[in-house]
Amino acid sequence: MTLDLPTAFRIRDIRDESPTVRTFTLDGAVQAEPGQFVMVWLPRVNEKPFSLVDDAPITLTIARVGPFTEAAHRLRVGDRLWLRGPYGRGFERLARPAVLVAGGYGAAPLAFLARRLRAEGVEVAVALGAKRACDLVLAERFRDAGCSVHLATEDGSLGHRGLATDVAARLLDANPDAALYACGPEAMLQRLAHLCRERGVPGQFSMERMMKCGLGVCGSCDHHGLLVCRDGPVFSADQVLGARGDFPSPCGRA
Amino acid sequence: MTLDLPTAFRIRDIRDESPTVRTFTLDGAVQAEPGQFVMVWLPRVNEKPFSLVDDAPITLTIARVGPFTEAAHRLRVGDRLWLRGPYGRGFERLARPAVLVAGGYGAAPLAFLARRLRAEGVEVAVALGAKRACDLVLAERFRDAGCSVHLATEDGSLGHRGLATDVAARLLDANPDAALYACGPEAMLQRLAHLCRERGVPGQFSMERMMKCGLGVCGSCDHHGLLVCRDGPVFSADQVLGARGDFPSPCGRA
Amino acid sequence: MTAPDLSVPLCGVRLGNPLVLASGILGTSAELLERVARCGAGAVTSKSCGPTPRAGHPNPTVLAWGHGLINAVGLSNPGADEEVRILRDAKARLAPLGVPLIASIFAETVQGFGDVARKVAEAAPDFIEVNISCPNVEAEFGRPFAADARDAAAVTAAVRRAVSLPIIVKLSPNVPDIAAIARAVEGEGADAIAAINTLGPGMVIDTDSGKPILANRTGGVSGPAIRPIAVRCVYDVSRAVRVPVIGIGGVTCGRDAVEMIMAGATAVGIGSAVYYRGPEVFAAIREELRGFMETHGYSDISQMRGLAHDA
Amino acid sequence: MTAPDLSVPLCGVRLGNPLVLASGILGTSAELLERVARCGAGAVTSKSCGPTPRAGHPNPTVLAWGHGLINAVGLSNPGADEEVRILRDAKARLAPLGVPLIASIFAETVQGFGDVARKVAEAAPDFIEVNISCPNVEAEFGRPFAADARDAAAVTAAVRRAVSLPIIVKLSPNVPDIAAIARAVEGEGADAIAAINTLGPGMVIDTDSGKPILANRTGGVSGPAIRPIAVRCVYDVSRAVRVPVIGIGGVTCGRDAVEMIMAGATAVGIGSAVYYRGPEVFAAIREELRGFMETHGYSDISQMRGLAHDA
Ligand SMILES: Cc1cc2nc3c(=O)[nH]c(=O)nc-3n(C[C@H](O)[C@H](O)[C@H](O)COP(=O)(O)OP(=O)(O)OC[C@H]3O[C@@H](n4cnc5c(N)ncnc54)[C@H](O)[C@@H]3O)c2cc1C
Ligand SMILES: Cc1cc2nc3c(=O)[nH]c(=O)nc-3n(C[C@H](O)[C@H](O)[C@H](O)COP(=O)(O)OP(=O)(O)OC[C@H]3O[C@@H](n4cnc5c(N)ncnc54)[C@H](O)[C@@H]3O)c2cc1C
Ligand SMILES: Cc1cc2nc3c(=O)[nH]c(=O)nc-3n(C[C@H](O)[C@H](O)[C@H](O)COP(=O)(O)O)c2cc1C
Ligand SMILES: Cc1cc2nc3c(=O)[nH]c(=O)nc-3n(C[C@H](O)[C@H](O)[C@H](O)COP(=O)(O)O)c2cc1C
Ligand code: FES
Ligand code: FES
């Protein structure tokens, strides 16, 4: 069931993942698919989209990047936050070995996905990238779920020096019939989408766009005629790259 | 399911029951309990309550008494009429021999009830009353359903000369543990309600009041604080006689 | 924690709980008014009564169209003389229950409002509610008085001169600035404001016949569909005046009642919800309200009142 | 019987079917406008554009409150210059599909409307829709132009002087007499009227925090809840003027579209239904409409138009 109006939950636990990223565990549950997101409301502040890291209990991993996320980071255990959703189409879980590629807080929906895939017996390798070692988040969750975790830092302070995309390419070399699932900065997704196309690897990519309604009406989250809030946020490589006429709905090819 | 808005049906069959009463069979069905009624709408004319004589196909028996029923009698096979409902609480069918008492077109809901009772294996005796022989309606339906039918006419032109209530009293004499179900003029219902009280016979009475909404909001169908459209139209003897505090709902006895 | 107190003061009269039967719903007889009181209402309002008997419009007069009701009953009423008898009877039945009686009136002229008020005051109801906002008789009477601040004020003044009972003036949402009307009637001595009457009017057309279904063609819209409009009106009115507001429109559950109170209402009218949940809706909403207060630690209705104002 | 013809003429432009994407829903980009056209719309309207870029209100800006939507997007738009680029692109994409483009505009001043109209006309849309009725920017601009017949007429005249394209003026339901506004804009050269914009405004309060949920506190109400009001407005307007009416408000299925047409609409706007049934709603309603016409023996939309008028 979708919560149509912002609904109050209390924060049960807060965990620092990095100097700028925190994970909030709430005192309630929703039913969601990995990749789906919720709109989080802080009264008098704003309402912003965040991926679910888990649905029971509801878990959110929030990077501090501006006014709203700063306000979120000021919340303490016992405080309330409001959310509506879950919204959007999540990842479609394929019965093949999985390569997950996360850039920064893009690890959030993938941690949820990893758990579900593992529960279904799928082998999961994760390429986790960030600027510095201290920015790598949720690695423990992936490990706890039974994934093999491969780190990359741009400054080389931990794991591979460079990008998660490099690691992903190597993981795909080792697993030519894997499926790729990714979430992170736009440039990373574009690069991975090209990679998938070149190699004929099925890829699914969770994208971000400015969201207002989250309901598929305001058009604010447009990506080449696709609605990130409703058709996505998870898209195929072709959709990420803006291929014409690749609408997810039957009306796509008139 | 209740039809909330007037819904169009076509008339499949019209049958003259008497010089002033006609039975209309429609080309559709609803799900109803005997005793429930529908609001029949004729555009630009009016909308009025009528009991169901059957729910599949929808069957109505309409006495011509004024502008609306005159308009209804002008309808031909193939014409449309509109109805919403069914509304109200119907008869509760008890597992005892049944005595049905009908005055005039009051036979309408009882014909429906008789069929259901007979289908459940209950013995049914019907006292059917009217002014003159030609005003007796639906006798055949009762006979076809397997009821024993006892006629009464005020002018003595057929059956017992006198009132259906007299016949009812005799039928109860013969069946002391019968239940009584009645529909007809107010005076008849009052008399029968007293009879039931005196004899300790369970009685159910379908009443009429001016109806506007049929939805239990306008208060037009008030009967001592009871709503004929929602709490009724079927009431107990005490309710017919206006006993205080005998509301059907839990709030009745504060 | 002590049990929450659901009672509210309304112009010096204490209501056992804030839920008020709205006018035109079940308020046609003393026995129905008593029944609603027994069903848990904090106060009950009689159906609006005018100077002389009116049959109202032919049927269909009320429809459930999916997200609310639409009605053009057309102010059917037995006239002020007969109404006095009904109100006296109602008052006698309500007194032992401790449930106040609100007598609703309307008229075609300013003078007429004063006359009807004086007449029904003979029955000594606890309040007189002045219905200047019925949208279903426009063709006959011209625009409702609630559509213009001066007309609304004039009616209020006439009733004020006629009776010493507390006066509630009932406003229409179908105006560009409901707060201005509220200020105008407060200025002429309204002791409380009821908001809102039905929205629109609206129309529902039967696509098989191509005809508007209501005999009056158009009707006032009520029920869940109008709740956001009603809440905004109550918010606007309660910020504009000092007198208490009865918030009416689309309330069907305890949360809805809380929303009205947070918007600024002192009491909460219940109308169409009687269709959705039966006359038992009063006790049901009262208990939902109590449960909400317990869960959220409110001990008194006033702690919630107008919370949305400092948003 | 021959297959029903769903096409309708609108000011000399032929729409393949009467369903028009309403302004503010998905009309933010050329690609989205193309998508909606491919989804089966008979015409598409771009999101209202003003003279200069506006960010609009902070979130929450749109909510689904149970019986409809409520929104205070606040006329976010990229400004007229950027809009011209979007409209040119859209026009190029729509041309091969034969789906006309309606460019919606707003401004803060009468003069501003003329300027924006002249600007967007450079992109050669098939129509210009003049949005004088957005209730969500009142605090900033004062009362919407649609609230006053003279203001509405002045805006229409300014746009009329600025462009030779067909002009659609979009009206607000939040007025005592929408027919009077319609006559006023027709008198100044409006080629068509769109009715209605959102109702209210309304308010939804969160009972846990006591705060109005929309950042703007209030917002315009749309969707199923407003349909009876919209139908009545379309009925009133279409009886008052000779120009065609685009009936908008709460249409979510074929029967709703038929109801609008019977109320007097030539075309039917679809907005909130995109939330309820997705962008695919256009083809879906189109086929429901076709099915209705087949069942009821209508061969042409015009046979149903205004049927309710002679009720
Ligand atoms: C589907 C989706 C899932 C997301 N999941 C997560 C997550 O799990 N964890 C996390 O930390 N962040 C997530 N984000 C991003 C998060 O929404 C933004 O970081 C947040 O809105 C920033 O708000 P702010 O006020 O703190 O910063 P601002 O200063 O307002 O913005 C910083 C940046 O955040 C983005 N942003 C701002 N407002 C919005 C908006 N309304 N919609 C989308 N993006 C916006 C913009 O790129 C902007 O440049 C997600 C975004 C989307 C679209
Ligand atoms: C629950 C119920 C079931 C009914 N079942 C049947 C039935 O099966 N067959 C049948 O012929 N009649 C039935 N009636 C009565 C029927 O509704 C009236 O005969 C009809 O409304 C008369 O309308 P008219 O315009 O022809 O006559 P009018 O001249 O308007 O009225 C004649 C009499 O009918 C009654 N009446 C009129 N309007 C209404 C109304 N809106 N609601 C209730 N009663 C009204 C009044 O007693 C009135 O004196 C039923 C009534 C009720 C309340
Ligand atoms: C059938 C019906 C009849 C009504 N009659 C009256 C009336 O006589 N006087 C009045 O002031 N309001 C009348 N109203 C309006 C209600 O009192 C109330 O203001 C409105 O319905 C909104 O509340 P709700 O959504 O809870 O129904 C009537 C409403 C309905 C549905
Ligand atoms: C999210 C949203 C944004 C809107 N933005 C605009 C707008 O920019 N310009 C405009 O004229 N109408 C706007 N509207 C109003 C719609 O065009 C339409 O008139 C209204 O929603 C009623 O139709 P509906 O019930 O089908 O949604 C908006 C409506 C919604 C829900
Ligand atoms: S955020 Fe409004 S359409 Fe996606
Ligand atoms: S007919 Fe309206 S309450 Fe019964």
pLDDT interval class at D139 (50, 70, 90): very low
pLDDT interval class at C136 (50, 70, 90): low
Phi, psi of D82 (to 5 degrees): -65, -35
Query: At how many degrees (to 10) do helices D281-296 and D254-263 cross?
Result: 70
Q: Which residues of B are less than 8 Å from C97 in CB distance?
A: 254
Check pLDDT > 50 for residue A4.
Answer: yes
Burial call C46-72: b when 16+ CB within 10 Å, e when fewer: bbbbbbeebebbbbbbbbbbbbbbbbb
pLDDT interval class at D1 (50, 70, 90): low
Burial of D245 (0-12, 13-18, 19+ CB in 10 A): buried
pLDDT interval class at B254 (50, 70, 90): very low
d(CA D293, CA B220): 39
Nearest atom within ligand 1 for CA of residue A232: 1
Check pLDDT > 90 for residue D263.
Answer: yes
- Chains near C (3 or more Cβ pairs under 8 Å): B, D
- Chains near A (3 or more Cβ pairs under 8 Å): D
Which residues, at least 6 apart from C195, have a Cβ–Cβ distance to it below 8 Å? C170, C171, C173, C178, C182, C230, C233, C234, C237, C245, C246, C247, C248, C249
Torsion of CA C48, C50, C55, C59, to 10 degrees: -40
Q: DSSP letters along C64-117, please?
A: E-SSSEEE-----B--HHHHHHHHHHHHHHHGGGT--EEEEE--SSHHHHHHHH
Distance from CA of A79 to the nearest CA of D (A): 12
Instruction: Using alpha carbons, select from A172, A174, A168, A102 the residue that is nearest to residue A141.
Output: A102
Phi, psi of C248 (to 5 degrees): -130, 140
Check pLDDT > 80 for residue A97.
Answer: yes
Q: What is the pLDDT of residues C24-48, one digit of tens each?
A: 999 999 999 999 999 999 999 999 9
Q: Which residues of C are less than 8 Å from B249 in CB distance?
A: 39, 278-280
* Ligand 3: centre distance to CA A144 (Å): 60
Interchain CB distance below 8 Å, D64 and A5: yes
pLDDT, residue A152, reads 94
Cis amide prior to C229 (ω within 30 degrees): no
pLDDT interval class at B250 (50, 70, 90): very low
Cis amide prior to A57 (ω within 30 degrees): yes
Q: Kindly state if the Cβ of A235 falls inside 6 Å of ligand 1.
A: no
CB-based contact, C25 to chain B, within 8 Å:
yes
* Ligand 6: centre distance to CA D304 (Å): 34
Q: What is the pLDDT of residues B138-176, one digit of tens each?
A: 999 999 999 999 999 999 999 999 999 999 999 999 999
Check pLDDT > 50 for residue C255.
Answer: yes
Ligand nearest to the CA of A210: 1
Chain C contact probe: residue of D203, D227, D296, D302 with most C CBs at under 10 A = D203
Instruction: Using alpha carbons, select from A81, A3, A8 the residue that is nearest to residue C295.
Output: A8
Q: Kindly state if the Cβ of A61 falls inside 6 Å of ligand 1.
A: yes
pLDDT, residue C138, reads 54
Interchain CB distance below 8 Å, D229 and C175: no
Check pLDDT > 80 for residue C68.
Answer: yes
CB-based contact, C132 to chain D, within 8 Å:
no
pLDDT interval class at C145 (50, 70, 90): confident
Percentage of the residues of chain B whose pLDDT score is greater than 90 = 94
Instruction: Using alpha carbons, select from D308, B45, D39 the residue that is nearest to residue A252.
Output: D39
Chains A and B touch (3+ CB pairs under 8 A): no
Average pLDDT over residues D146-161: 93
Which residue lies with its CA nearest to atom 35 of ligand 1?
Answer: A210
Chain D contact probe: residue of A69, A217, A246 with most D CBs at under 10 A = A217
Query: Which residues of C are designated catalytic?
Result: 134
Q: Which residues of D are less than 8 Å from A225 in CB distance?
A: 29, 31-32, 34-35
d(CA A18, CA C180): 54
Check pLDDT > 90 for residue D140.
Answer: no
Interchain CB distance below 8 Å, C228 and D204: yes
Contact of A202 with A175, CB cutoff 8 Å: no
Reported in sequence order, the residue ranges of C78-234 that DSSP labels E, i.e. its strands, are: 101-105, 127-131, 167-171, 192-195, 199-203, 205-206, 211-212, 218-222
Check pLDDT > 60 for residue B126.
Answer: yes
pLDDT, residue C146, reads 83
DSSP state of D50: -
Interchain CB distance below 8 Å, C24 and B5: no
**Exactly one of D39, D49, D134, D233 is catalytic; which is it?**
D134
pLDDT interval class at D141 (50, 70, 90): low
Q: Which residues of B have a CB under 8 Å from any CB of C? A: 4-8, 39, 41, 43-44, 46-48, 80, 82, 84, 211-220, 222, 224-225, 227, 230, 247, 249-252, 254
Check pLDDT > 90 for residue C135.
Answer: no
Nearest atom within ligand 4 for CA of residue D223: 25
Name which of D59, D65, D278 is nearest A46 (Cβ-Cβ). D59
Check pLDDT > 70 for residue C310.
Answer: yes
d(CA A80, CA A10): 4
Which residue lies with its CA nearest to atom 38 of ligand 1?
Answer: A210
Distance from CA of C274 to the nearest CA of B (A): 6
Average pLDDT over residues B65-84: 98
Sign of the alpha-carbon dihedral angle for D295, D298, D301, D303? negative
Reported in sequence order, the residue ranges of chain D that DSSP labels E, i.e. its strands, are: 8-10, 13-15, 19-21, 43-45, 53-54, 62-64, 69-71, 77-78, 101-105, 127-131, 167-171, 192-195, 199-203, 205-206, 211-212, 218-222, 245-248, 267-270
Check pLDDT > 70 for residue A254.
Answer: no
Percentage of the residues of chain C whose pLDDT score is greater than 70 = 96
Average pLDDT over residues D97-114: 96
Domains of chain B in sequence order: 3-87 (2.40.30.10), 98-206 (3.40.50.80)
Check pLDDT > 90 for residue C238.
Answer: yes
Contact of A47 with A40, CB cutoff 8 Å: yes
pLDDT, residue D145, reads 87
Q: What integer best gives the mean pLDDT of chain C?
A: 95
pLDDT, residue A250, reads 37
Interchain CB distance below 8 Å, D280 and A5: no
Interchain CB distance below 8 Å, C218 and D232: yes
Task: Name the pairing type of β-strands D101-105 and D62-64.
Answer: unpaired
Domains of chain D in sequence order: 8-56+73-201+223-310 (3.20.20.70)
> For residues C285 and B246, which has the higher predicted lDDT (pLDDT)?
C285
pLDDT, residue B246, reads 47
Contact of D19 with D257, CB cutoff 8 Å: yes
Phi, psi of B112 (to 5 degrees): -65, -45
Contact of B189 with B207, CB cutoff 8 Å: yes
Pocket probe for ligand 5: among A207, A217, A231, the residue whose CB has the most ligand atoms within 8 Å is A217
Chain A contact probe: residue of D19, D59, D206 with most A CBs at under 10 A = D59
pLDDT, residue B99, reads 97
d(CA D81, CA D49): 10
CB-based contact, C212 to chain D, within 8 Å:
yes
The first and second tokens of residue D275, run together, are 């939330």
CB atoms within 10 A of CB C92: 12
Distance from CA of C56 to the nearest CA of D (A): 19
Interchain CB distance below 8 Å, B217 and C34: no
Q: DSSP letters along chain A, please?
A: --EEEEEEEEEEEEEEEETTEEEEEES------TT-EEEEEETTTEEEEEE-SEETTEEEEEE--SHHHHHHHT--TT-EEEEEEEESB-PPPPSS-EEEEEEGGGHHHHHHHHHHHHHTT--EEEEEEESSGGG--SHHHHHHTT-EEEEEETT-SSSEES-HHHHHHHHHHH-TT-EEEEES-HHHHHHHHHHHHHHT--EEEE-----S-SSS-S-TTEETTEETTTT-BEEEHHHHTT-TT--SSGGG--
- Whole-prediction pTM: 0.96
* Ligand 1: centre distance to CA A69 (Å): 8
Q: Which range, of B157-161, B224-228, C162-166, D264-268, averages the lowest pLDDT?
A: B157-161
pLDDT interval class at A243 (50, 70, 90): low
Q: Which residue of C has its CA nearest to D225?
A: C225
The DSSP bridge partners found for residue B199 are none
pLDDT, residue D310, reads 84
d(CA B243, CA B225): 10
Q: Kindly state if the Cβ of C20 falls inside 6 Å of ligand 3.
A: no
pLDDT, residue D176, reads 87
DSSP state of C242: S
pLDDT, residue A246, reads 47
- Tokens 């997810």 appear where? A248
Q: Kindly state if the Cβ of A26 falls inside 6 Å of ligand 1.
A: no
Q: Which residues of A have a CB under 8 Å from any CB of D? A: 4-8, 39, 41, 43-44, 46-48, 80, 82, 211-220, 222, 224-225, 227, 230, 247, 249-254
Torsion of CA C179, C184, C188, C191, to 10 degrees: -10
Average pLDDT over residues A107-131: 96
Interchain CB distance below 8 Å, C308 and D205: yes
Check pLDDT > 70 for residue C141.
Answer: no
d(CA C14, CA C251): 21
* Ligand 6: centre distance to CA B236 (Å): 19
Coil vs helix vs strand at C305: coil
Instruction: Using alpha carbons, select from C134, C111, C107 the residue that is nearest to residue C51.
Output: C107
Instruction: Using alpha carbons, select from D141, D127, D241 the residue that is nearest to residue D181.
Output: D241
Q: What integer best gives the mean pLDDT of chain A?
A: 93
Strands ordered across the beta sheet of D199-203: D62-64, D69-71, D218-222, D199-203
Distance from CA of D2 to the nearest CA of C (A): 21
DSSP state of D13: E
Average pLDDT over residues A81-96: 97
